[in-house]
Structure 1
């Protein structure tokens, strides 16, 4: 995928997923790259060395996150006036002129974050993960050992402490939580079951190759920078989760996905739940296969009193003819049967529990 294509496809995705601002700005970067010559020069200089980055590495989002970080640090000059995340008002022509000026004036600063993966730690995705966890808890009745791979700052490890509002207006979880997800769940999901019980999490650990310490200013800056500037609800959820994390710190170890699942063991009297969201694409095929193999081996060890479950929110296609979508998948051992797929949004709500 060349640079123009990478930015144009990401622009279309952002516009479709609720960020008209990024839709415009990333399209204009793509147009400049396509034009070549003087129009492309400042962007080509900043992006040099990344021409062959694969699509799943999300180069355009890395670029956008690096720029947003400079805005948040008040290092982006006139561009801040157009970023809603710092009180600005987006206006396409003015924002584009200011963005181009920043890239021309501060190429090294913009390049600083191009080698790091986007780490949104999107709190809204907890709506999908907790919906899956409710299904596991309903079926097993066991306390939960929660393990997350690709945790970033570990905010979603606190998801059982959030408040979720379903399509009937009923709140689930902690009604006083600083994280509230309205219209989180719809359809005949486990939250409507007569025997539903809120998960009792007795242990929670996370892992990430580049863990973010949310107790630090740098960590909070990184997570905020990767949230799209013109989607206020996502920023509000993040701020609430950061407040919650300050009250209830969680451990996020520096480790890869395979290393984490290889050392995972089941514990009697609990169900061990491995979960993750929108991180699978960053693993190469060999690691994906090795992780799947380890999950099968753990599943073979599971019993009704030492259970195991895999809960994931990832994009994909179930058939070659189907459009790429975000899917919540839930699989339980020893008696969970086939994997359950549920449609979900890329940033979480609404989770529509209508399977086919």
Structure 2
């Protein structure tokens, strides 16, 4: 088989634009086309991205740039560009919006570059629908108090599934009726596989990230908002609700590589240990991926009837793939084992199609 030719930087930006269009952001879809054209033409985009052109497609060059500019908008440091961003009350217009975006890159290249070094700090709340639904697939043997660990947790907004209400067809619902975060129409497909767990209890909320975001601070909230696409109000509403919840229900996110963090996860009698990840593996090195995989195998082998282990993941089927992500389950409880694909979901999580 002939190996695939790596995407050029402008090709990766165009690919991201197509994904933005498919995921309901006409604003970012249009911007990506303009950014790619300007990159090829050697315009201000080429200057701003000069030190980052080596990044691979999965490193999300386009989203880094868009997030860096959006942060300047949110901080009221983007001048007239703010008039075109719905997130601050503006209205997007392709021609005039692009002109203002390009002018900002030319006038403030260092301010934009400051946000390019780290991967997007996306903490999309909709992805918790995959985690909560995955937990509802567990057998009775695994229905113990949950010790929840997340790889690549960013701000840790997905570590509170017991405070989220998801609904699906036919009256399917899970989570408290007065939940702080509501995800309507979160599930489709074979929802009969989702068995109620009314007394779901999370007794440990722990995550890792190379650069954690603290959602209880102004800087942290601004960072998470910057990577929420400006023309998607439903995602903004989810983020607002999740930030309010984070202020009430603490969760710890440690500075750690995913493999090192996975190595620290252990099993405790009387509880179910859950290791969870969502759209993060594409940012890992090969060594980190291998280390996480080894630790998952060790934990599966070490699980006992008194200390089950569960690995749940929402990841693209291939690195860089912008098509539906797979929701996968691997669980062991000493006398039993379950490994399967549970369903698929969009990269932003909802809706999850089960079965």
The alignment's TM-score, normalised by the length of structure 2, stands at 0.93
Structure 1 stretch displaced more, 83-92 or 174-183 = 174-183
Structure 1 stretch displaced more, 138-147 or 344-353 = 138-147
Q: Aligned with 1:211: secondary structure? A: coil
Matched with 1:152 is: 154
CA contact under 8 A between 1:134 and 1:197: conserved in structure 2?
no
Cα separation, 1, equivalents of 2:285 and 2:194: 38
Cα separation, 1, equivalents of 2:197 and 2:67: 40
Matched with 2:65 is: 63
Cα separation, 2, equivalents of 1:249 and 1:171: 25
Cα separation, 2, equivalents of 1:6 and 1:311: 29
Matched with 1:252 is: 253
CA contact under 8 A between 2:141 and 2:305: conserved in structure 1?
no
Residue 203 of structure 1: how far off its partner (Å): 1.3
Cα separation, 1, equivalents of 2:24 and 2:199: 31
Matched with 2:325 is: 326
How do residues 1-356 of structure 1 correspond to structure 2 at under 5 angstroms?
1-34=7-40, 36=41, 40-136=42-138, 138-189=140-191, 192-193=194-195, 196-317=197-318, 324-334=323-333, 335-354=336-355
Cα separation, 1, equivalents of 2:84 and 2:234: 18
Cα separation, 2, equivalents of 1:115 and 1:13: 22
Residue 133 of structure 1: how far off its partner (Å): 1.3
Residue 197 of structure 1: how far off its partner (Å): 4.1
RMSD: 1.8
CA contact under 8 A between 2:64 and 2:120: conserved in structure 1?
yes
In structure 2, the gaps of 5 or more residues are: 1-6
In structure 1, the gaps of 5 or more residues are: none
Residue 14 of structure 1: how far off its partner (Å): 0.7
CA contact under 8 A between 2:326 and 2:341: conserved in structure 1?
no
Cα separation, 2, equivalents of 1:285 and 1:171: 39
Residues 187 and 121 (structure 1 numbering): CA distance in 2 closer, same or farther, change over 3 Å? same
CA contact under 8 A between 1:137 and 1:198: conserved in structure 2?
no
CA contact under 8 A between 1:137 and 1:197: conserved in structure 2?
no
Residues 192 and 284 (structure 1 numbering): CA distance in 2 closer, same or farther, change over 3 Å? closer
Cα separation, 1, equivalents of 2:14 and 2:28: 11
Residue 2 of structure 1: how far off its partner (Å): 2.2
Residues 281 and 87 (structure 1 numbering): CA distance in 2 closer, same or farther, change over 3 Å? same
CA contact under 8 A between 2:19 and 2:322: conserved in structure 1?
no
Cα separation, 2, equivalents of 1:147 and 1:305: 18
CA contact under 8 A between 1:149 and 1:274: conserved in structure 2?
yes
Cα separation, 1, equivalents of 2:323 and 2:193: 27
